[in-house]
Amino acid sequence: MKTVLLFPPTWHPSQPYLSLPSLTGFLKQAGVTDVTQRDLGIEVLDGLLSQDTGRETYERIQEKIQRLERSGTRGETGPSSQEHLARMREALDWFPPLYDQIDDAKRTLRSESFYDLERYRESLFLIDQYLAFISTLYFPTRISVVDNQWRHSIYSSKDILKAVADEEENPYLELFRSRFVPQLLAQAPDLIGVSITATSQILPGLTLCRLIKQANPDVHLTIGGSIFTRLVDNLRRADSMFQFADDYVVFEGETALLELVHQLEGKQDFSKVPNLIYRQNGKIVVNQPFYSENINALAAPNFDGINFRQYFAPQAVLPVQFSRGCYYKDCAFCALTLDHQNFRQRQPEKVVEDLKTLMEKYQTPFFFFTDECFALSPTKRLCSQLIEATVNAQWTCEMRFEKNLSRDLLKQMRDAGCLKIVFGLESYNQRVMDFMKKGIKQEHVRRIVDDCLDLDIAVHCYVLIGFPTETEPEALETMNFIVDHKRLNTSFGFSCQPCLFDLEKEAPIMSDPAAYGIRRIMRPASEDLSLGYFYEVLEGMNPEEAERVYQQVYEKISEVVCELPFNYSMADGLLYIARSKASVVAAH
């Protein structure tokens, strides 16, 4: 039984994502040895950013311009329009200098030159320009390093069906059809699993699935990941989504995938596969209750087969997990807790063993804990054991501004290799914090930030603008905390990401919207796969005002934050912080 696991574009090019290595580790531990994993996100990006693709795109743009000049444009905007023609002509002018530099840009990011901030920035800018050039052919679609912008809505099954077959606007169609699908099917897989965990992956991922099913309908194709976990109810009614896959695995996928392998080898009784959504006798079946893994029975992630040299970083930063779920589930705006139904903690000694194994096997000390939130007591035990075992890992994690997050624990974390902590600040206004049910106080935020700065631990703050009832002065209080706190915003490694509030499906606020000042909730009828809603408020900023204030906050914070690398990539930032600390040690 040959299993192939795929991670489609688009994701951050600095490091692999954790889903496939977790599944691969689990399957191999269970004796399923014929497993291949491929990060198509980085493979596709590497292929797009090549002189061959540039030259081919240049020729195709020339041909398209000639065709439109002969036959005439279609309207003022959109594909094959006057605007499209003008953009393609412009692109031909500014592309040639980029062509000779693209290989150097990739080499810079993969070598010691990565740490030359000027060359690092120039390389990222050049890569973005190169992708803008390639995108011109598929206008109005725009590919960037970590995202895609499409004219089609990713929240509408009708739009998705159009987008995946759109020869003019879908930049992935020809690429997948000519290169990746033949490669994959040449391996003669029995089961293909595709992990779609971010909205940026929906259209590329489903384009890939459609092409695979067209080329070989007999391959069993399953889709997993957090996007469809949030769309369980929608999938019950979206029959058209089953032309992309035989079934969907929602919530956690390890045991589900293992059982799916066993059923495909045996009786094919899919009712035995936990967390599976599939079609049977014309009906869509959802296997419930949903299953949660025993986190202590899981294997360490297995990255075998992933080509670390393709990532745009000089050294691997590996994603790992200490826990699943969030021990604090009350934040009213947060739908992330849905991905893992309950909070479970891996034993610290198992994590220490994981890190030691991964450091030795993949020759890197750098780790990115993907947990929603580190709980305090287990963190203390983990750090004690890392210090005791002299595991010289360097890592980053996410925590809450808890009253009981003491200076002593922070010092212990630093001594155990923690270089940076990511905090969800959301708001610095106490009324808004309380209304969000954050469970934190201003004085705890100030004290913990100062402790981190004293101990030389870098800080990241997420900020949320436009939570229902928030006023403009309250939002600006949060902005001013960041902008006026010079010691914080000038500290090496500091980053801050302002986000605009979205009313998300499954967030706690949806259980009683009126209690949060939401007067009316709307969803366009066409958006049958929507992950969020439009809404009207009774008080505070309305969504349009919140958007305006968000732009103001974003601009002001951008003025005081080191955008590259720290606001661009946690993994890149971690490498920069580690290099800075190593330089200080060497100087002494």
pLDDT tens-digit map of 359-394: 999 999 999 999 999 999 999 999 999 999 999 999
For the four alpha carbons of 433, 435, 439 and 441, in that order, the dihedral sign comes to positive
**Domains contained in the chain, number:** 3
Based on the domain organization, do 35 and 64 belong to the same domain? no
Based on the domain organization, do 29 and 62 belong to the same domain? no
Based on the domain organization, do 507 and 392 belong to the same domain? yes
Within-domain flag for 219: yes
23 three-class SS: helix
CATH code where residue 277 lies: 3.40.50.2300
Which of 121, 152, 183 is the last residue before a domain boundary? 152
State residue 340's pLDDT score.
Answer: 75
State residue 474's pLDDT score.
Answer: 98
| CA gap 36, 25 in Å, rounded | 11
CATH code where residue 550 lies: 3.80.30.20
Which of 241, 265, 286 is the last residue before a domain boundary? 286
The pair phi, psi for residue 212, each rounded to 5°, is -65, -45
Based on the domain organization, do 66 and 95 belong to the same domain? yes
Based on the domain organization, do 457 and 325 belong to the same domain? yes
Q: Could you give the dihedral angle defined by the CA atoms of residues 31, 35, 41 and 42, in that order, rounded to the nearest 10 degrees? A: 100
State residue 337's pLDDT score.
Answer: 64
- Cβ-based neighbours of 388, under 8 Å, separated by 6 or more: none
Count of CB atoms situated within 10 Å of the CB of 90: 12
Based on the domain organization, do 347 and 412 belong to the same domain? yes
Within-domain flag for 299: no
The domain of 69 spans 46-152
Within-domain flag for 134: yes
Based on the domain organization, do 69 and 193 belong to the same domain? no
pLDDT tens-digit map of 56-96: 999 999 999 999 999 999 999 999 999 999 999 999 999 99
State residue 108's pLDDT score.
Answer: 98
Within-domain flag for 540: yes
Residue type, position 269, single letter: D
Based on the domain organization, do 474 and 361 belong to the same domain? yes
Based on the domain organization, do 415 and 357 belong to the same domain? yes
Check if the beta carbon of residue 438 is closer than 8 Å to that of residue 426: yes
Within-domain flag for 293: no
Whether the bond into 478 is cis, omega within 30 of 0:
no
297-301 LR contacts (CB < 8 Å, sep 24+): 298/22, 298/25, 298/26, 298/254, 298/346, 299/25, 299/26, 299/28, 299/29, 300/25, 300/353, 300/354, 300/357, 300/358, 301/18, 301/21, 301/22, 301/24, 301/25, 301/354, 301/358
Within-domain flag for 292: no
| CA gap 436, 422 in Å, rounded | 19
Within-domain flag for 275: yes
Based on the domain organization, do 204 and 129 belong to the same domain? no
**pLDDT in 10s for each residue of the chain, 588 residues:** 999 999 999 999 999 999 999 999 999 999 999 999 999 999 999 999 999 999 999 999 999 999 999 999 999 999 999 999 999 999 999 999 999 999 999 999 999 999 999 999 999 999 999 999 999 999 999 999 999 999 999 999 999 999 999 999 999 999 999 999 999 999 999 999 999 999 999 999 999 999 999 999 999 999 999 999 999 999 999 999 999 999 999 999 999 999 999 999 999 999 999 999 999 999 999 999 999 999 999 999 999 999 999 999 999 999 999 999 999 989 999 987 667 789 999 999 999 999 999 999 999 999 999 999 999 999 999 999 999 999 999 999 999 999 999 999 999 999 999 999 999 999 999 999 999 999 999 999 999 999 999 999 999 999 999 999 999 999 999 999 999 999 999 999 999 999 999 999 889 999 999 999 999 999 888 999 999 999 999 999 999 999 999 999 999 999 999 899 999 999 999 999 999 999 888 877
Based on the domain organization, do 126 and 177 belong to the same domain? no
**In 317-422, alpha helices (H):** 348-362, 376-388, 407-415
Which of 95, 125, 152 is the last residue before a domain boundary? 152
Directed axis angle between helix 117-136 and helix 102-109, to 10°?
130
Token digits of residue 238: 């979206």
Based on the domain organization, do 259 and 180 belong to the same domain? yes
